[in-house]
Structure formats: C-alpha cells, structure tokens
C-alpha cells in the first residue's frame, strides 16, 4: 500500500515541510486532506504501525547524521597524520553502524571543481566490495584512491602516491587489504592467465614470506590465504618506504602517516594494523 508522503510527515508530528517537498508544491493543507483520506481508510493495525514508526523516526532523528565537510586547503593543512587516521576510523564506524554522513555530492562537485585537497591516499584492491570511499564514508574530494588487484605498489602506484602526498598535500597513506581476496588466492595458486600472471607476481613475495601451512598452501586453505593477505599489506607498506625516498622522507619527518589495514568483506569492518 502506497501512503501519501505527507501522511508520514503528519503522523510523525512534523509541521514544517522539508525544503524539497515545498518545492514540489505540497502544502500543509494538502497534507491535512491526504491525512483525512488516509485516516478513513487506515485500519487500527496500520495506525499502530505508524505509532511504532514514529518512535523509530525519533530514534533516527536523535542520531541524525552530521553534514559533510568538503575538504579545503585550510582543512587539509590543519589535518595531522594522526587526525587523518582518526577520520578514516570514524568513517568506517559510521559505515558499519549505518550512520553515514549526509552529503550533497553535486554541491561537493562544485566546491572541488577548481581544486582538490584530500586528507589521505588509500591503496586498496579493485574488489567490488572494497571501495574506499564507501567503507570509510567519504565524499567527493576527501581521499585519493589507488586501486589495483592485490593492493600492491609498483612504480606507477608509487608515483601516484608521491603526487598525492608531495604535490597535493595528503597526510596519510593507508594500504588496505581485504578478506576473501581473489588476487591473493590467485597468487597462492600460481594462476597463469594473460597479463594477470604479471600482476600476481607482485603478490608472490607475500606468499613466499608466509611459512608453514603445509600440506595445503593453496586457496582452499582459508587461514593460509588470510595470512598471505595480512603479510601482503605489511610488505606493501615496507615497499613504499623502501622504494620511495620522497615518501620515506616525509614519513620520517612526520609530515605523513603510513600504515596498513584489513577490510572484512563479511562485516564491513576495517581493522587497522
Ligand atoms: Zn582483492
């Protein structure tokens, strides 16, 4: 049953219409009319349901999401590496609690069109379940996002990270692995497939660096796969420090933070390591 939108507002004790409703020409008078029509038709069970929904709405209003802050030169320069990490932690908390920040993305498009000032750069897998913007509840202009199967770094990703931090002012690099990673499983199984073979070769050092798990060091062994995924994050963080004098220097001076994390595709939770 489709109830008139206005019924919901009236039943929830809302007497002021939201701006977007006003723009559609709905008035409180039409709401009253609709409400009377609805009340004639409504069964007592529906009324009871509306009362329950009213309580639910009150709870939602009590935990109303914060409005988004679009990053500017000022907000970026005021952000420390520690603060950037905290912002990502809080973003993932909002994500797993379903209390994402309210965003007007087109407003953010307009606000960032002439310049971007992201506070962090994230290296994550291309996996469809591991979008950094979504799982950290970030909007337009908040984070650089380098995504590649197996979340490793090569020269091109390193160059991108150097741009993000040394040229564009990001304060944190986070390497984000995830559970159930197909690229990690492919590397464990020595998959050979066109250009993917070369891609997976970047993950092989992590496979080699995880001892034990005999006799099954294949993708069928979930614990082995996760151990390799964890090691791959650690090695990728180390590789950034080793292979980029620019980023190493910035990290040593405390100008940027550099760390790793693991995303659980079952729970939505990011564990920082
Ligand atoms: Zn993956």
Residue 225 CA to ligand 1 center (angstroms) comes to 11
Q: 227 CA distance to ligand 1 centroid (A)? A: 14
Distance from residue 178's CA to the centre of ligand 1 (Å): 6
What is the distance in A from the centroid of ligand 1 to the CA of 38? 51
- Tell me what the pLDDT averaged over the chain comes to: 84
Cα 55 to ligand 1 centroid, rounded to whole Å: 41
Q: How far does residue 183's CA lie from ligand 1's centre (Å)?
A: 5
Tens digits of residue pLDDT in 17-50: 344 434 444 444 444 444 444 334 444 443 344 4
Non-local (6+) Cβ contacts of 95 within 8 A are: 134, 135, 136, 137, 268
Ligand 1: centre distance to CA 182 (Å)? 5
How far, in Å, from the CA of 171 to the mean position of ligand 1? 25
Check if the beta carbon of residue 35 is closer than 8 Å to that of residue 13.
no
Q: Where are the domains of the chain?
A: 5-62, 73-272
**Mean pLDDT to the nearest integer, 227-243:** 98
pLDDT level of residue 68 (50, 70, 90 thresholds): confident
- pLDDT greater than 90 at residue 262: yes
**Could you tell me the distance, in angstroms and rounded to a whole number, from the CA of residue 54 to the centre of ligand 1?**
42
Per-residue pLDDT tens digits for 170-207: 999 999 999 999 999 999 999 999 999 999 999 999 99
Mean pLDDT calculated for residue range 160-178: 98
Please give the pLDDT value at position 99. 97
Rounded distance between C-alpha atoms, residue 115 and residue 119, angstroms? 13
d(CA 269, ligand 1 centre) in Å: 15
Superfamily of domain 73-272: Carbonic anhydrase (3.40.1050.10)
Q: In a 3-state reduction of DSSP, which class is residue 127?
A: coil
Run of H or E residues at 72: none
Residue 240, number of CB atoms within 10 A of its CB:
22
How much distance in Å is there from the Cα of 32 to the middle of ligand 1?
53
1 against 105, higher pLDDT: 105
Q: How many helices (H) and strands (E) does the chain have?
A: 14, 5
Using the mean position of ligand 1's atoms as its centre, give its distance from the Cα of residue 149 in Å: 5
Taking the centre of ligand 1 as the mean of its atom positions, its distance from the CA of residue 198, in whole angstroms, is: 16
Distance in Å from the first CA to the final CA of the chain: 49
Separation of CA 176 and ligand 1 centre (Å) = 10
Give me ligand 1 centre to Cα 159, in Å: 21
pLDDT (0 to 100) of residue 66: 66
The percent of residues above 70 in pLDDT, for the chain, comes to 76
Q: What is the pLDDT of residue 90?
A: 98
Residue 219 alpha carbon to ligand 1 centre in Å: 13
User: Does the pLDDT of residue 241 top 90, yes or no?
Assistant: yes
What six digits make up the tokens of 2? Answer: 């489709």
Ligand 1 center to residue 35 CA distance, Å?
Answer: 51
């Amino acid at each position: 049953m489709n109830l008139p939108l206005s019924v919901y507002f009236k039943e929830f004790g809302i007497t002021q219409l939201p701006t977007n409703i006003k723009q559609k020409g709905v008035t409180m008078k039409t709401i009253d009319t609709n409400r009377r029509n609805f009340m004639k038709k409504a069964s007592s069970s529906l009324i009871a349901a509306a009362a329950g929904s009213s309580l639910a709405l009150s709870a939602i209003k009590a935990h109303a999401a914060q409005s988004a802050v679009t990053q500017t030169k000022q907000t970026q320069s005021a952000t420390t590496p520690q603060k950037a990490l905290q912002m990502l932690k809080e973003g993932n908390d909002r994500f797993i609690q379903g209390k994402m920040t309210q965003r007007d993305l087109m407003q953010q498009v307009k606000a960032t069109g002439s310049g971007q000032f992201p506070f962090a750069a994230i290296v994550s897998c291309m996996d469809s379940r591991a979008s950094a913007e979504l799982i950290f509840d970030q909007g337009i202009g908040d984070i650089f996002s380098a995504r590649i199967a197996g979340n490793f770094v090569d020269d091109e990703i390193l160059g991108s990270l150097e741009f993000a931090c040394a040229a564009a002012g990001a304060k944190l690099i986070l390497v984000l692995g995830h559970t159930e990673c197909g690229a990690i499983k492919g590397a464990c199984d020595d998959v050979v497939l066109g250009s993917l073979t070369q891609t997976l070769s970047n993950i092989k050092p992590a496979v080699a660096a995880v001892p034990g798990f005999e006799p099954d060091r294949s993708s069928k062994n979930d614990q082995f796969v996760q151990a390799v995924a964890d090691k791959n994050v650690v090695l990728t963080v180390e590789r950034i420090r080793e292979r980029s004098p620019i980023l190493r220097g910035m990290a040593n001076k405390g100008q940027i933070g550099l760390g790793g994390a693991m995303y659980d595709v079952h729970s939505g939770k990011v564990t920082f390591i």
